[in-house]
Chain A
Amino acid sequence: MSVTLAWAMVASSLALVVVRRRSMAIALVAAQSLALGVYALAHAHAAGAAAAGATLIVKGILLPGLLLIAVRRSRKRRPIATEPPAFTRLALAAALALAIEQLAPALGLPNASLEHAAIGVFALGVLLAATRRAVLFQALGFLVVENGIYLAALPLHGGLPAPIELGLAFDLIVTMSVAAAFATKIHERLGSGDSSLLEALRD
């Protein structure tokens, strides 16, 4: 696995924390997924090729397409004001991701540099959901987290077993379809995709 590619994934995950347009964010996640998928397909043995190909199609093409439809159905009428400024988000995400990466115990992956990058992408996926207020960005956080795990699994001999990869791809389709339906409905009912409007239920 190219270490440059792995760190490019970290950089694109950081970019997601600051990027303004939802369509641009979807394009970044799609690019991540496509890069991972192409690498997996190129290095897969015969049995794993089908699973890698299916994952590539699902994560690189189907899911971004689904999310773009959700974006088209919920045109932003106003920017989300409750979000911290981009530089603050970037500083916060970078600092926390670095801290998590340093504090995380060794996972025992074959390549230490790749392990650091994978933990970084995973942490940035979680932080993306925590620092962005738009529900669509929170949904994209799932995909980035999953990309981090996929990145960690790539250098394993033969990757993850094919049934798990196919199951994961199916679960992702279902979960992201539901997330896209929620994003559309929330926008329809509240007039905005701002998740800070979803804080009425408190005790």
Chain B
Amino acid sequence: MTEALTIAVPAAALLGAMFVHLARTPAGVDRANVLAASLTAALALTVSALGIVNGGEAIRGSWFVLDRAGASFLAVIATVGWLSALTSPAFLAGEGRGLFTARRARGWYYTGFHVFWATLLALPLVDNLAIAWLLVEATTAASALLVAFNGRPHALEAGWKYLVLTTFGLGVALLGILVLFVALAPHGGGLSVLDWRSIAAHAPHLPHGSVEVALILILAGLAAKIGWAPVHNWLPDAHSEAPPPVSALLSAALLPTVMLIAWRVTLTLGAAAPHHLARTLLIGFGLASLAIAVPFLWRSMPWKRLLAYSSLEHMGILALAIGFSNPLATAGLLIHLAGHAIAKSLGFYAYLPIGRHSPDSARRAPRGLTRSSGAVAAAAGVSLATLGGLPPSPLFFSELLILLGGIVAHQAVVVAIAAVLIALAFLGLAHALIETLAGKGSGRPWQAGRTVRLTRRLTVAAVIGLLALSAGAYLLIDSHASTTLMAGVS
């Protein structure tokens, strides 16, 4: 039963990619998209619930593993994907000819979107490193086309950079997987030798040199896809040029999902590496990402570019949480993952009315939104305040938990540096928040059209979700859930 459901999750999204082509009118295509997305999300959330309520034991099948970590990531991907599917018709209503002809653009957009979503949904479930790599690589092609969807030179540049940099990065990761495969060959040369449990079981008996090389290559290669500094160059461009629903999916689902693979690699292979190599690498990526993001968060940036640099900051914080690797940091990681997903996707969806009403917003920071639209100002305010970690935002609690986890892991210096960088990022975002809401803008009120009404509803839902997460932070600290999250790798 569970196996059939896990197959149905990505299959439903793939069928959705074809189903949208059956409709004959633009409105029909939109309805087919919403129907397919709702079915996919319902299936994914059911599987996710099964994984979470099952307890500390992972559910295993012929190709999949469902543990609490995978189930939590699956819930985030399902929710963000569903919301992006719901907001896509509003985005497409204002689009004309782009990468595709005007007549075919809508259908191809949804096809690319559902294929991208299907690969993302399969990723937290796969029980094998090589298959996970193939899926990560498969996300690139579909999402690169979506990034360049409007076909303008800037979008083509962003899409091309994304395609080239992440594909070469994943080439490095593949070389690392080959090194690991060679080392594991005496323990069986088949595909199953790269299953998570097999890697965890055999890693302590592998030559240290092979473990080190494989770990460095795999983590460095995946870092290019996660957007960890210093291999993050594609991230601000792709997030700022992609359609807002796709930017939300890239930032709130793709980056953390690839990070889940890096986390599983760290737990299985990293444990056998000498000199805490995995921890050193992750802390290095985390601090570098924070340090590089902060100066950009202090600058006046176009809305989506600001959110992109905020993604760099938050992926850095999540890297630190994985690196600290203890229950406190892991509890923080879970809250951070979900809180970041809600706040970041709300921020990108809020760009739908901003982009529609301020044509220069792609190149300039928005100003004085409270005078233009209360609903959009509320969405932007909730998003930036949450991302900045302003209490009672769940990200305030998660950052606190992660830093406390660092102290427990005897990483006081790292915690001190991270705390200063997080505080600086907060100040940068607080300044952006004030300017966005109350700065000197055009002052012309916007009509409460479709995108504004949609943003208002999403803001209400996001606030409820964020408050629930803040409450959840208290419950997670004392629970055993965070210690049994990764049952799938042991």
A interface, CB within 8 angstroms of B: 105-110, 122, 125-126, 129, 135, 138, 141-142, 145-146, 149, 152-153, 156-158, 160-161, 163-164, 167-168, 170-171, 174-175, 177-179, 181-182, 185-186, 189-190, 195, 197-201, 203
Whether B28 sits at the interface, judged by CB under 8 Å, is no
A57 to chain B, nearest CB (A): 19
Asked, given contacts A145-B168, A156-B182, A167-B134, whether A107 binds B213 with beta carbons under 8 Å apart, the answer is yes
How far, in whole Å, are A203 and B309 apart by their CA atoms in the complex? 11
- Chain B interface mostly: helix
* Structural contact, B157 and A189, CB atoms closer than 8 A: no
**Additional 18 contacts, C-beta under 8 A, given A142-B167, A171-B137, A203-B299:** A105-B209, A105-B212, A107-B175, A108-B179, A108-B210, A126-B171, A160-B178, A161-B191, A175-B137, A175-B141, A177-B141, A182-B160, A185-B151, A190-B153, A195-B160, A200-B157, A201-B157, A203-B305
Q: Known: A108-B182, A175-B140, A181-B145. Contact between A189 and B156, CB under 8 A?
A: yes
Report chain B residues within 8 Å CB of A179.
163
Q: Give a binary string over B297-326; 1 marks a CB under 8 Å from any A CB, 0 the rest.
A: 001010001000000000000000000000
Offer 23 A-B interface pairs, CB within 8 angstroms, sorted by A.
A105-B212, A105-B213, A107-B210, A108-B207, A108-B210, A138-B164, A145-B171, A146-B171, A149-B175, A152-B175, A158-B189, A161-B191, A167-B130, A171-B141, A174-B141, A175-B167, A182-B144, A182-B160, A185-B99, A189-B151, A198-B157, A198-B160, A201-B154
Q: How far is the CB of A52 from chain B (nearest CB, A)?
A: 15
The 7 closest A-B pairs by CB, nearest first: A198-B157, A161-B191, A167-B134, A145-B171, A174-B141, A178-B141, A201-B237
Are the CB atoms of B174 and A161 closer together than 8 Å? no
| Interface residue B30 (Cβ < 8 Å from any Cβ of A) | no
Confirm or deny: B249 has a beta carbon within 8 angstroms of a beta carbon on chain A. Answer: no
Q: Are B154 and A106 in contact (CB under 8 A)?
A: no
B198 to chain A, nearest CB (A): 13
Asked whether B154 lies within 8 Å of A129 as measured between CB atoms, the reply is no
B296 and A203: CB pair below 8 A? yes
Which of A110, A142, A189, A200 makes the CB contact (< 8 A) with B171?
A142
Residue B475, interface by CB 8 Å? no
A residues less than 8 Å from B189 (CB atoms)? 156-158, 161
A175 to B179, CA, bound (A): 24
Interface of A is mostly: helix
- The chain B residue sitting closest to A141, CB to CB, is B168
| Total B residues in contact with A, Cβ cutoff 8 Å | 50
Question: With an 8 A cutoff between CB atoms, is B148 at the interface?
Answer: yes
Q: Indicate whether B158 reaches chain A with its CB closer than 8 angstroms.
A: yes
A106-B209 in contact given A156-B189, A174-B141 (Cβ < 8 Å): yes
B179 touches which of A107, A138, A177, A181 (Cβ 8 Å): A107
Q: Does B185 contact A (CB under 8 A)?
A: yes
The answer to whether A156 and B185 touch (CB under 8 A), given A161-B190, A167-B134, is yes
Residues of chain B contacted by A198 (CB below 8 angstroms):
153, 156-157, 160-161
Contacts of B163 in A (CB 8 A): 175, 178-179, 182
Which B residues touch A141, using CB under 8 A?
168
Q: How far is the CB of A55 from chain B (nearest CB, A)?
A: 14
Chain A residue contacts of B241, Cβ below 8 A: 201
- The residues of B that contact A122 with a CB separation of less than 8 Å are 171, 175
A10–B226 Cα gap in the complex (Å)? 31
> Are B168 and A171 neighbours in the complex by a CB distance under 8 Å?
no
B130 and A199 form a contact (CB under 8 A): no
How far is B154's CA from A203's CA once the two chains are assembled, in angstroms?
Answer: 13
Q: How far is B182's CA from A109's CA once the two chains are assembled, in angstroms?
A: 7
Q: Is the CB of A200 within 8 A of B183?
A: no
**Closest chain B residue to A189, Cβ basis:** B153
- Nearest Cβ on chain A to B474's Cβ, whole angstroms: 39
Smallest beta-carbon distance B165→chain A, Å:
10
Q: How far is the CA of A119 from the CA of B431 in the complex (A)?
A: 48
Q: Give bound CA distance, A129 to B171, whole Å.
A: 13
Instruction: Quote the shortest CB–CB distance from A155 to chain B (angstroms).
Output: 10
